[in-house]
Amino acid sequence: MKTNSLIASFWLGKELQSNDIARNEEIKATLNKWQSCLSLRVRQLLLFEDESNISLKELVLSDNKNNSSSAICEKGLIKESVFVGLRNDDVPYDTLEAEPFTKASNIIKVIARQISNFFDFNIISTNDFLNLYNDELKWYENYDVYKKCIELYLEEDYFTVLLIVISNLERIFGDIIYSLYNDTSIIPSLLRDILIAPSLVSLFGEDMIFFLRCVIGPPSSMNLRNVIWHGFINPHEFLPIPAKLYCAFMLTVTMNVCNIVRNKGVIVLLKKRNGMSLDGYYYLTQRVDKTDDMHTYDSIKEDFAQIYERLMYGHAIPPQGSHLLILETLLFRNFFVISQSHSAWLRSFHHLSNDQVLLSFILILPLLEHCLRRIYVCVNNVQYHRMSTMEVGEYFLTLDIILEEKVDWAFFGVEEEKKDEEQMNEIYSEFGGSIMDLLLDLFVHADGPRLRDRVAHGETNHLVSSESFNLSNPLCNYFLGLLIVLWNKYKINIPLTHQGDNIIKGDCQSSTTSEIKLYESWISNYRSRFHPIPMLWKESVRMITNVWKCWNVYREMTKTGRFMMGNWIEPFRVMKSDTPEDSSLFDQGFLQNIVEVANIFKVVQECCTRLNKRKLGGTKHVDDNSIYWSQIKFTKDDAKVINFRRGVIKKANAGVEKLHSILITLHSSNSLSSRKRKNTQSLFNLFPSMFQQLYFALLTLEQTRNQKSMLSKLVFVERWNGFCVEGNWKDINGAFEELLNHSKTDD
């Protein structure tokens, strides 16, 4: 612990929370100790610590005698000859060896400094940049993002700019491949693989590709993108230099990329993939009490997702109001935050205060990952050097690994084959089930916003200058609420400040304390929305509401006497437990009851009441004491089964929606031919039984993990859908008989 100041300060903070220690100044000094999380090699690659032995003569340039930016730049673009001089002839462009990257990095840092000098003299205003690179920006059609970047650059907000520009460059490379092939599936998921895609190598040439790979390529390179976006660089060691230099450099590299593709004439205008929206993950902004009823629904006219959130999670909505004030109050009184990063946090608060939420998130996400990595290393007692960038051949400890349920033996320095089972990740115990549910919802679960991934890979950069993503978005409340809860968990009474810290004046302690209790209450009630099982539940309730919609039209059409209603048939026998925990939404009796309720709000309410009686089921191993989804044992096999069930229910839902559309069309027709009337009556005769058959398939699907049996249910649902669309209602009976025969043999 003594060898790493960040580790030592964490445990000291813990001790300070549990004991009243009088040596405040000594304690404060220890808590404020800091050390770099960059390994020696990465420091040498990225930081400008010793340029005494580097000169522009190392560049293979014809006019390098004047030792000025003109030797590197021409009209604001890096000369092609610079790329040619970065590697020896015997070094392949796709090398993974460290030595060629080390040599090239020395030259690249000189280039970065010269480009920065060029910016100092030529980019005095936003218009200077926009005019200089007008052709490139016009081809890329993304003025707004780069206009915002230059505004921030001129405000000396270099860290934010660098994060945006690097993520946007990654996005551009993917868009180039998309423009060439009109197919997103062939775009590699990792930047290091994108950079060696044959289409890009052909377009840019091997020398340019090596140059790009040296800067933002594999772990053996400078790897600037991963080092900065995964929070290994503390702003304390990167501001203002070399962040400013890399800002100007990466902006110019981006314009170079656009210029090369534009002049090749292969892509007239870049075809961009749609950016990701951060809407629709959370809906409510105010807590819902149990007393809320149908009158609330009538007044707001919510759609299904809003109704479902209101009824299923309405008691667990984060407090509204002064998130920013509370964060400012807690910033200097917690040891979750690395104290040398206070200035960056304050800058993120500045963006929040201006309702520029994405800019704030861009700054916060790497800082948060760094803080979480520190706690992971401490509570799991893994090798301390895992806090830092790793040597070549070792994997970085990144957010997805930090939030995994188990810890790889490699992080203990133990060979995996010598151990039977991996150790549980103690960060789950450290934070507790509710915080882990929220962390996994925000960053990991496939159906969640996956904030870090989407922001870091440039998928949300179109929101940088947009007014649509602001503090009114409920997602912001959950993210900022998470910060408040974490900071409060590691709160201490000693203020941790540095010279230059912009301390928030005024004592808000009393009001803040009462407000924080509201956050503690909220987080204790939080349950995962995006874990596979809650997503299965939501899809099931959505289907049942669509069944009710079909039934509602069916009932309206039979009221006039033009058509006769069909009859329920004898319920099918299903092996099931009588305990309320195992009661299903697809129970035959529940179907008959739910179609009689008055409105969608009541339908969803009945479904949520039924689901809330169940324990956290759906897996083989459920601890009766588990109350949060992150606490259940959810294996890969469980995930396959749950996702398969959800896929089948989605297909069933699609069929029910099509049937509803058919019914609406029939109901709106003023006159029907005799053939259509006959066909409609045929449908209505079978209407109750065909839904009973569908429900039987979904109910028995819930009760099996046998692959053959599950496939037979899928086949039936697909045939049910097809017969509905084709109007061959009578054929559903034959398909159902086949399902029953399969069920007798499969299980």
Whole-angstrom Cα distance, residue 554 to residue 21?
A: 73
* Per-residue pLDDT at 24 exceeds 70: no
pLDDT digits (tens, 9 = 90+) for 387-409: 898 777 678 899 999 999 999 98
Q: How confident is the model at residue 483 (pLDDT cuts 50, 70, 90)?
A: very high
Q: How confident is the model at residue 331 (pLDDT cuts 50, 70, 90)?
A: very high
Residues facing residue 275 across a β-bridge = none
Backbone angles phi, psi at 361, to 5 degrees: -60, -40
Q: How confident is the model at residue 502 (pLDDT cuts 50, 70, 90)?
A: low
Q: Where are the domains of the chain?
A: 40-264, 322-525, 532-746
Q: How confident is the model at residue 334 (pLDDT cuts 50, 70, 90)?
A: very high
Average pLDDT for 367-396: 90
Q: How confident is the model at residue 137 (pLDDT cuts 50, 70, 90)?
A: very high
Q: What is residue 109's predicted lDDT score, i.e. its pLDDT?
A: 94
Question: Count of CB atoms within 10 A of residue 114's CB?
Answer: 24
Instruction: List the structure tokens of 514.
Output: 């009462």
* Per-residue pLDDT at 255 exceeds 90: yes
Residues facing residue 406 across a β-bridge = 424
* Per-residue pLDDT at 552 exceeds 50: yes
What is the DSSP code string of 460-490? TGGGTT-SSSSTTSHHHHHHHHHHHHHHHHT
Give CA 305 to chain center in angstroms.
19
* Per-residue pLDDT at 563 exceeds 70: yes
Q: How much of the chain is helix, strand and coil, in % rounded to 5?
A: 60, 0, 35
Average pLDDT for 563-580: 72
Q: How confident is the model at residue 495 (pLDDT cuts 50, 70, 90)?
A: confident
pTM of the shown model? 0.92
Higher pLDDT, 452 or 502: 452
Does residue 242 have a cis bond before it (omega within 30 degrees)? yes
Helix axes 98-122, 243-264, angle to 10 degrees: 90
Q: How confident is the model at residue 180 (pLDDT cuts 50, 70, 90)?
A: very high
Instruction: List the structure tokens of 133.
Output: 């690179």
Maximal CA-CA distance, the chain: 96
Average pLDDT for 53-64: 42
Average pLDDT for 582-588: 84
Q: What is residue 362's predicted lDDT score, i.e. its pLDDT?
A: 97
Instruction: List the structure tokens of 431.
Output: 């934070």
* Per-residue pLDDT at 628 exceeds 70: yes
* Per-residue pLDDT at 56 exceeds 70: no
Q: What is residue 42's predicted lDDT score, i.e. its pLDDT?
A: 93
Whole-angstrom Cα distance, residue 542 to residue 742?
A: 28
Q: How confident is the model at residue 22 (pLDDT cuts 50, 70, 90)?
A: low
Q: How confident is the model at residue 253 (pLDDT cuts 50, 70, 90)?
A: very high
Whole-angstrom Cα distance, residue 525 to residue 514?
A: 18
Q: Is 109 helix (H, G, I), strand (E, B) or coil?
A: helix
Q: What is the rounded average pLDDT for all residues in the chain?
A: 87
Virtual CA dihedral for 354, 356, 362, 363, nearest 10 degrees? 0
Instruction: List the structure tokens of 599.
Output: 């409105």
Give CA 207 to chain center in angstroms.
34
